[in-house]
Structure 1
């Protein structure tokens, strides 16, 4: 029974946490590409009001921001689960083996690393998109000056 729980926890770490981080990465990339394609095709002449343009320009970039801010926490959750699994396994064996502890902790930390690998590009993408939005809105303002 105990081994079943540990096996389930290890699978939750590998498939749940890492899968979530991979999904977050794919969503970020997809939204970034979609937004960049939209920004290339947007025609400010089609908009009469700045607010409507701003709404269209900022659509879905908050998702990228949310991914960038929350990916490290998802990675941290994976690390905590990994450390718990490592200590529980060592306690269950009744022996302290430094090699097993180091391997377990190293594998647990992969989730934190993955969380950072997802978060950093997401924040960069969000910053790039915000700058594009500012540039397009400034072009709109200049074109509609009276």
Structure 2
């Protein structure tokens, strides 16, 4: 139990830090990609969609799972608090409250990571939709110009 007690915070926050790094990395990568993508370079809608949505799953996964990592840290922190209380055989409300408060910081960290990850994912998905609309518009204009030439 001492190992868990000593390394719980660093373990949980290391995992959250890794998740933060992954989400940040892929958000930056996607933003750079969206700046240089040209829908006119694509001949098929699905090929465009594949390129546009690449790596978005990682961002979504971080946003969806960061609260669970934080919650796991909180549950383990509460477990440690109750174990310590049980082994000392004394009930000190101050010790309980401090233990619970410290345990909750893991959940706060998970939520703090999840919110911007989901916001970034939604913003990037909006960019995907805009690029897809541009592709459709370009295809329609191209088809109309071809059919207009054929009519003449």
Q: TM-score, normalised by structure 2?
A: 0.90
What residue number does 1:62 align with?
Answer: 57
Root mean square deviation of aligned Cα: 0.9
In the alignment, which of 77, 100, 109 is matched to residue 104 of structure 2? 109
In the alignment, which of 16, 22, 28 is matched to residue 21 of structure 1? 16
Partners of 2:19 and 2:112 lie apart in 1 by 11
What residue number does 1:33 align with?
Answer: 28
For structure 2, the residue ranges without an aligned partner over 5 or more in a row are: 144-152
- For residues 71-119 of structure 1, give each alpha carbon's deviation from its aligned partner in whole angstroms, at most 9, with x where no partner exists: 1111110000000000101111111111111110010000000010010
Partners of 1:19 and 1:10 lie apart in 2 by 15
**Highest CA radius of gyration, 1 or 2?**
2
What residue number does 2:121 align with?
Answer: 126
Kindly report structure 1 stretches of 4+ aligned residues shifted beyond 2 Å: none
The more displaced of 32-41 and 14-23 is: 14-23
Partners of 1:33 and 1:123 lie apart in 2 by 14
Measure how far apart 1:11 and its partner are. Answer: 3.4
Measure how far apart 1:127 and its partner are. Answer: 0.2
- For residues 109-132 of structure 1, give each alpha carbon's deviation from its aligned partner in whole angstroms, at most 9, with x where no partner exists: 000000100100010000000000
What residue number does 1:135 align with?
Answer: 130
For structure 1, the residue ranges without an aligned partner over 5 or more in a row are: none
Partners of 2:29 and 2:110 lie apart in 1 by 23
Question: Does 1:100 pair with 2:95?
Answer: yes
